[in-house]
Amino acid sequence: MNIKKSIRKLLAERDMTQAALAKKAAIREETLSRMIKGNDANTKVLRKICFALDVTMWEFMKEGSE
């Protein structure tokens, strides 16, 4: 799974910024940035991101593998 690829693709599809995603997911922008850089892959945070993007965890993981 490529978290960076998943997030960037889903953000582009929704015309959303990282800041907007962080706010909607109720996480800090720094946390999201660390995840994108590959430094932190917390399941709890991933669930919040998936909920904010309206995708399942499976759909999120699939986006990163395509």
Domain that holds residue 50: 3-65
CATH of the domain at 8: 1.10.260.40
- Number of domains composing the chain: 1
Q: pLDDT tens digits, residue range 8-49?
A: 999 999 999 999 999 999 999 999 998 888 767 788 999 999
| pTM for the predicted model, two decimal places | 0.86
Burial of 43 (0-12, 13-18, 19+ CB in 10 A): exposed
